Structure formats: structure tokens, C-alpha cells
Amino acid sequence: MRLLVTGGAGFIGANFVHSTVREYPDDAVTVIDALTYAGRRESLAAVEDSIRLVEGDICDAELVDNLVAESDAVIHFAAESHVDNALDNPEPFLHTNVIGTFTILEAVRRHGVRLHHISTDEVYGDLALDEPQRFTEATPYNPSSPYSATKAGSDMLVRAWVRSYGVRATISNCSNNYGPYQHIEKFIPRQITNILTGRRAKLYGTGHNVRDWIHVEDHNSAVRRILEKGQIGRTYLISSEGERDNLTVLRTLLRLMDRDPDDFDHVTDRVGHDLRYAIDPSTLYNELGWAPKHTDFEEGLRSTIEWYRNNESWWRPIKDAAEAQYEKRGQ
């Protein structure tokens, strides 16, 4: 297959490109990425001779049209992805997540190209801590933040283009990812690199908020399965059923890095902070026969810590600026 991967220099996209090059050597991979603050050429250095990297904006209709015309399928990861940034300045989220997805949809419509759209569980809003129900494909959309509202908008556009124009698209909504190449603005790599640079870990609010953690390789193996076996027009929810509260995750990281369990700061909470996300992935398990491989979360954290220890040159140049940004917000 000739694959066009949008946002392939970001965290999940880069991991997808690495696993595709490794496991599907007959695929031809082109990446389109604007190389924003979140996209790093260095994340693709190990595979640069096996792929084509085009630096460009997914809102550039002419460029997107040309790249889509030469592809068999588009895997659409590109997005503004960080909730705290969306709260500071939502405009880039409207641009990339909404207009960017619209631009991709128009191109795949023109050329009859298969699309897989990557989305998030945050479109469903949040759950109470003790609620037995988890998110399913039937849960109504109820986004809380400018980030999740723009992702919800992009999902709605995809659904409308399937119904109105017969675009051959699938959607997946995944839970919180962790693993190598994740930007250090995000919870797990921020704490790891804080500790590695002699800073203290930072917990928003009480730390009772729950996230449903999945290793990025499991997310990407599910995406591949949906690309190959998914039913056009369907939405699939991806999770490896890894619910944990933030305080527990933080204390696990501190223990794995030989720190005292109280060696962290409580900082200003995120406004509108979603309490709990949890996905019921049974459709994916039962209909597509998918299963996660990284089921031992502690082992996954251990190898992620190792990756950040061994790849300081990847994150060190951006660490001080990322922390300065957080300091401005009191976080």
C-alpha cells in the first residue's frame, strides 16, 4: 500500500511510521507534517531512508491534493493535541483539527482514497469516578475543552463525508497513549524528564483524575487492524483497559525512579479538568479480533523511562522552554 501519514513526525504518528517500516516493508510511506513545536524531524531519523517526509500544512489544499492523489490510503494523525495549549489559545486547534480535516476529506473525496481518521476518547466528555458505564461507540458526544470540541468537530465532518459523499473512511477514538517520542509537555514524559533534570514532579489538583492508559504500539496495531479489516463508516474505540488515577501513576514513576513517594508538587489544576475517561473496547476485541500486547503497565512505564534516559538528546533541547511555559501558568 502507498500510505500517506499526516502528523507522522509527532508522537503517535512517528511510532506508526516506525512500526510500518519494520513490519510492512512493502508499504511506501509518505509523511506530511508541518513540523510545529510538536513535530520533530529527529523522531523519524532512524527511518529517514525508508520514507518520504514532506514538510507542509494539512490546510494547504493543493499540496494535500497532490499527495492524496498518489496514495492508496491516508492515516490522519495530524492535530494540535495538548489540552493546556488549547485553553491558552484555541485558534491553532480550529485551524488544524477542523480546517485540516476538512482539507483531507475534500482530497480523499476527489480521488476516492481510503481514509482512517484518528480521534480521541475526550470527545465523549468525562465520567464520574464510580460510574459503572464506560464509553462505547453509542455514547453521545459531550466535549469539554477547546481541544476535544475541535476533535469532535473533525469526527462529525468525517461522518458527514461518509454519508453525503460516500467517502471510504473509518474513525478510531483512543484513550491516553504513552511510550517513546511523546512530547515532554504530556503528563508521563513531563514527570520523567522533570526527575531526570533534578526538578520535582508536578501533579494537577488532587490527582484523583483517572486516565485509561495504552501503550502507543498497541494503539497503532489497532489502527492497522482497522485499516485492513474495519468496516467503512464505522467508529472503533481503542483501549487496553488501563484505568489509573494520576496520583497512582505519579507514585509508580517515582518508585521506578528511586524517589520518595511524596517527592512532587501539587500545582494549579487545569480549568474544566475532565475527571475520568474509560473505554469499553469489546467491539474491537470481538469483531476485529484485536488484543493489546503491552498489558503490564508497570513494565511499559519502566521501558518508557529507559527510553527517555537513553534519548536525552531528543528531549533536552526543548525541556527548559516547555517548563517555562508551565511556569507561566502556575503549573
Binding site for ligand TDX (CB under 6 A): 81-83, 120, 122, 176, 186-187, 190, 202-204, 209, 211, 246, 270
Residues 138-167 that bind ligand NAD (CB under 6 A): 151
Known catalytic membership, residue 122: yes
Question: Angle between the 246-256 and 187-196 helix axes, to the nearest 10 degrees?
Answer: 30
Of 57 and 155, CB closest to ligand TDX = 155
Q: Is 126 in the site for ligand NAD (CB under 6 A)?
A: no
Beta carbon of residue 242, minimum distance to ligand TDX (angstroms, whole number): 12
Q: Is 264 in the site for ligand NAD (CB under 6 A)?
A: no
Q: 144 near 274, Cβ under 8 Å?
A: yes
Sheet holding 51-55, edge to edge: 51-55, 28-33, 2-6, 73-76, 114-120, 169-174, 235-238
Of 105 and 174, CB closest to ligand NAD = 174
Of 175 and 194, CB closest to ligand NAD = 175
Q: 194 near 326, Cβ under 8 Å?
A: no
Q: Residue 137 contacts by C-beta under 8 Å, 6 or more apart in sequence?
A: 234, 235, 236, 237, 283
Distance of CA 63 to CAs 4, 30, 57, 318, Å? 12, 13, 8, 29
Q: Is 249 in the site for ligand NAD (CB under 6 A)?
A: no
Beta carbon of residue 227, minimum distance to ligand NAD (angstroms, whole number): 15
> Looking at 77, 236, 277, 297, which residue binds ligand NAD (CB under 6 A)?
77
Q: Is 44 in the site for ligand NAD (CB under 6 A)?
A: no
When CB distances are held under 5 to 8 angstroms depending on the partner's kind, the choice from ligand NAD, ligand TDX, none that residue 211 binds is ligand TDX
When CB distances are held under 5 to 8 angstroms depending on the partner's kind, the choice from ligand NAD, ligand TDX, none that residue 253 binds is none
Distance of CA 246 to CAs 39, 94, 187, 210, 218, Å? 26, 28, 9, 6, 21
Q: Is 222 in the site for ligand NAD (CB under 6 A)?
A: no
Distance of CA 49 to CAs 55, 89, 128, Å? 16, 36, 48
State the residues that interact with ligand NAD by CB under 6 A. 7, 9-13, 32-36, 38-39, 57-59, 77-81, 96, 100, 118, 120, 151, 174, 176-177, 183
